[in-house]
Structure 1
Amino acid sequence: MNDTLYGKSVASAANIRAAEEKAIAAGVTEDELIDKAATELAEEVIRRTDKRGKILFVTGGGNNGADGLTSAKKLSELGFSAAVMPVGDKNSPRNEELIAGLKRSGVAFTDKIERGYAVIVDCVFGIGLSREPSGEYARAIDEINASGALVIAADVPSGLDADTGYAYSHCVRADVTVTFTAVKSGLLLGEGRNYAGEIIVANIGIDFEATGRIIDEFEAVLPPRRPVSHKGNYGRVRVIGGSECMPGAPLMCFESAVAASRSGAGLVTLCVPDCMKAAYQSRVTETMLKFLPSENGKLRFDETALAELADGANAIVIGPGMGKGEDNYKIVEWLIRNYNGTLIIDADGLNALSLNPSVLLAKKCEIILTPHVAEFRRLCPEFDVEKPRTEIIRTFAKRYGVCLAVKSATTVVTDGEAVFFNVTGTPALAKGGSGDVLGGMTAAFACVLPPLAALKAACFHFGKSGERAAKRLNTVTSVLAGDVIVEIKYAE
């Protein structure tokens, strides 16, 4: 994801429609808005090709099609070889007039996409699509994808839901999307990033109400370390997890603790089942170790032990590698009701919490939840993994008074009021252990920042650390959690 999106506003389709209606009511004509969008679209085409390359505009019957027809006219007048392929027989009167004018001026028209075009501009559907494209529309989308040309989508790739990023079975796979006014949330969520390609935001001069903002580097700044300071100034973190029943559990829990230490926490203690002393004592060198009561290879609820580890801790992470122990919910519940620092619940801690999310209403501490989309679905059954809606995420956080990061290619971060989108990262992070690293980073940052600021900074720097690891190793396949931890040293 290009860093030019950092700090950009994100909006829903409804908010953009409302903004356009407001602008028109204030005296801006629809033709003026179309002309501005067409100009931005034409300029992007010019940046991607020259007058030797053939350009095809595939247009629908609404305003998205009008943007394309007007852009084709502008490019033709500049001497570019621009052709048009209208799709469907339901053109608006404006589009019929534009088509007639283009034909009079000698612009070529076609009814089939063949190879040989340098650029194809998708202007079939705009932000209003709500059903599966079919018939002539489906055929046009499939031909665009099979063309071999550079594909530029106007506003949103045709076949992609502008709000949720749900991709219908016929969906344009764009190389570039020129989106007007603001980034549409569907370009970031769901399957959006698989279909949008590079996202260019084109300002056409209308005011709008944003639903959120993309996190930038200025929101991810950590407080500087003072020359005269000690470990107590940078927080005490406890990481609770591990289970004999999960072969990789020692590594998961350990990585979370090391990530916290690498991210600046003053003192990190790894709290694991006492039945796993041998597994940890030979490996753990960078953090403190504390052994907790266990039974059948899993953590056992012990109020005295929990009270002891919670005492003096600025932040606690619970969940990495815990497995599905019978006492997991009791442990999570006790911390929610009794701990008074910042509690980060992740992984198996979230699975335990899903048994009774309403216990969050009894919290004594600040709480940060870091579920991936499937884990969030278990916490919030009305959430649709394939059609994620930010309002459902925000409402959940507000209802329970928590900070929440719902992890995916784009992570949605909210405290129930403001909504932020994190776009840093790489497919290299789609691997077990990555979430444990984020949990540790979040805990360290929560020792020196308020919960929402800590969560935003952690998500941003976690993604950047993954990007650096993938670049250093020249792969998005072979990056391990430990490789990401090495790169945290630059997260300042």
Structure 2
Amino acid sequence: MNPHELWHSTALRQLEQRHADHQPGLMVLAGSAIADWIMDHYTKQPIAVVAGPGNNGGDALIAAQQLQRAGWPIQVHRYGSCLHAELEKGLLITTTPTEPGAGILLDGLFGIGLHQAPRDEAADWIQCINLSGSTIIAIDVPSGLDSDTGHVPGAVVHAAQTLTLIGNKPGLHTGIGRDVAGNVHVLDLGVAANDTANYTLITRENVSWLPARAHASHKGSFGTAAVIGGGEGMVGAALLAGRAALHAGTGKVFVGLLDDTLAVDPQQPELMIRAASALSHQAEIDVFAIGPGLGQSDAALALVDHALVLPQPLILDADALNLVSSHLALQHQLKARPINSTILTPHPAEAARLLGSTTGEVQTNRIAAAEQLRDRYQCTVVLKGAGSIIAAPDAATAINGSGNGALAAAGQGDVLTGVIAALLAQGLNAYDAARLAVWAHGFAADQWRQHYPTGIGLTASDTLQLVRGVLNHRDFGIAV
């Protein structure tokens, strides 16, 4: 199956049922594929296999048998009553948790069926796994992770590698799932799916790239974007968004500031600085982005109110979202806009305000939160965070496959807004612009982190040139 396709556990269970009579059985195929992958990627060494009571444990036992036949030292730690006791024949079995010492630990404790916090004894086993000092390889999903949402309701295994079976899972790529899954490898077992996948994973291979520019081009060929924001003490946010729009290829960029003390950006004089109230009357503007550094003053409220009735594509970010969440009239105006003419870019707290929920509830099911916002306002939604979610009407909900914690810095959201505006101005539709912008922004940080492994100190300003390099299809070399 395509590794870019992401499958809900319910759909995977249905796939398993349709292939229940497959010979050899899916469990045999899974165990064999796991053993083969380990032998292909590691030298022979002791392996501690933790087998749970269900099918995940059965996969682990078959892998243990095959590795043992190949001469690998195997110790099986069985948790709970085993539904597949016949598979234990010939294996060294203990019913106590793993101890430190094994080179590799194979986590077959729980699979995709666990959607609640592991109980006390199981939580203790998970703690022992994490403290083992071994290289942890999880079967299907790290035990304790909700494979559908990326939520971790309790104890969870922290894996270095995850060998996910049949199809890729959304929970491995968003929320805490990105931290606990390690490197994800799809072992499809040769199972074909005739259904449409529930979600997609955004990678370099499936974004809509901008074409190379013709020689006979001019600045008007690549659109005009306007960024509105920059209240007192927050001008930098609007400037960052404007600079990002320039670096991402917009022909012309206006920046409309509430704080009118700045006449020119000395670091980016190409930006055309105006009073915020003046920009909305300029017909030449193709795309508006409102919110970076906007604040929530009466003047800011009036600007959002006016922006919502503009015919151009519109991006709402930061305080523009907060104003919408606190004013019912703005919500009605947002709903009245043409379908897919608006992009919302909330972080989890802003999404919670828009939904009338809590940040914790949003993070418990990030996909559902993004889709609720999409359905409520009939617009494209970018729910930012680890594994950003892009949801749009009449399109597959997508999870970003790039990015890392280096982006957890002030101004990075403003940069993303500017990049989205640039891609809209250059002709991409809202869904494709959001997907490419989110992936390129994240991949820029991934490249930077190759040189700065702990991820400390990537500023929003640093990201501008990196994103430009990514959009030009190059692995941007960074001087260290």
Whether these two folds match at TM > 0.5 is: yes
Displacement of 1:478: 0.9
State which of 256, 262, 265 in structure 1 corresponds to 2:241.
256
How far apart, CA to CA, are the structure 2 residues paired with 1:57 and 1:326?
A: 62
1:401-427 C-alpha deviation (Å, 9 max, x unpaired): 211111111011121331111121121
Partner of 1:28: 22
State which of 311, 326, 341 in structure 2 corresponds to 1:366.
341
How far apart, CA to CA, are the structure 1 residues paired with 2:452 and 2:97?
A: 44
1:476 equivalenced with 2:459 (yes/no): no
State which of 221, 233, 242 in structure 1 corresponds to 2:230.
242
How far apart, CA to CA, are the structure 1 residues paired with 2:409 and 2:286?
A: 29
Partner of 1:11: 7
Partner of 2:116: 131
Amino acid at match of 2:308: I
Partner of 2:214: 226
Partner of 1:300: none
Amino acid at match of 1:445: L
State which of 350, 362, 372 in structure 2 corresponds to 1:375.
350
Cα 1:76–1:158 shift into 2, 3 Å: same
Partner of 1:202: 187
- Identity across aligned pairs (percent)? 31
Q: CA RMSD in A?
A: 2.1
1:151 equivalenced with 2:136 (yes/no): yes
**SS where residue 277 of structure 1 aligns?**
coil
1:425 equivalenced with 2:403 (yes/no): yes
Partner of 1:434: 412
Cα 1:119–1:330 shift into 2, 3 Å: same
Partner of 1:179: 164
**SS where residue 261 of structure 2 aligns?**
helix
Contact 1:165 1:189 in 2 (8 A): yes
Cα 1:416–1:390 shift into 2, 3 Å: farther
Partner of 1:451: 430
**SS where residue 461 of structure 2 aligns?**
helix
Cα 1:50–1:329 shift into 2, 3 Å: same
Cα 1:106–1:205 shift into 2, 3 Å: closer
**Which has the higher mean CA deviation after the structures are superposed, 134-143 or 477-486?**
134-143
Partner of 1:292: 276
Partner of 2:476: none
**SS where residue 19 of structure 1 aligns?**
helix
**Which has the higher mean CA deviation after the structures are superposed, 383-392 or 410-419?**
383-392
Displacement of 1:47: 3.4
Output aligned runs, 1:386-405, within 5 Å.
386-405=363-382
**SS where residue 364 of structure 2 aligns?**
coil
Cα 1:420–1:281 shift into 2, 3 Å: closer
How far apart, CA to CA, are the structure 2 residues paired with 1:455 and 1:128?
A: 32
Displacement of 1:398: 3.4
Partner of 1:212: 199
Cα 1:11–1:232 shift into 2, 3 Å: same
How far apart, CA to CA, are the structure 1 residues paired with 2:120 and 2:388?
A: 35
**SS where residue 298 of structure 2 aligns?**
coil
Displacement of 1:203: 0.5
Q: Which runs of 5+ in 2 are unaligned?
A: 473-480
Displacement of 1:330: 3.1
Partner of 1:302: none
Contact 1:49 1:118 in 2 (8 A): no
How far apart, CA to CA, are the structure 2 residues paired with 1:6 and 1:34?
A: 20
Displacement of 1:156: 0.9
Displacement of 1:11: 1.0
TM-score normalized with structure 1 length:
0.88
Displacement of 1:394: 2.4
Displacement of 1:363: 1.2
Partner of 2:478: none
Contact 2:136 2:160 in 1 (8 A): yes
1:66 equivalenced with 2:58 (yes/no): yes
How far apart, CA to CA, are the structure 1 residues paired with 2:460 and 2:265?
A: 21
Q: How many residue pairs get matched?
A: 460
1:156-186 C-alpha deviation (Å, 9 max, x unpaired): 1111111111213321111111111222111
Contact 2:351 2:369 in 1 (8 A): no
**Which has the higher mean CA deviation after the structures are superposed, 207-216 or 481-490?**
207-216
Amino acid at match of 2:215: P
How far apart, CA to CA, are the structure 1 residues paired with 2:451 and 2:126?
A: 37
Q: Which runs of 5+ in 1 are unaligned?
A: 294-304
Amino acid at match of 2:51: T
Displacement of 1:226: 1.2
TM-score normalized with structure 2 length:
0.90
How far apart, CA to CA, are the structure 1 residues paired with 2:176 and 2:155?
A: 13
Amino acid at match of 2:320: G
Displacement of 1:454: 1.0
Amino acid at match of 1:469: W
Output aligned runs, 1:274-353, within 5 Å.
274-277=259-262, 280=264, 284-292=268-276, 305=278, 307-309=280-282, 311-337=283-309, 339-353=310-324
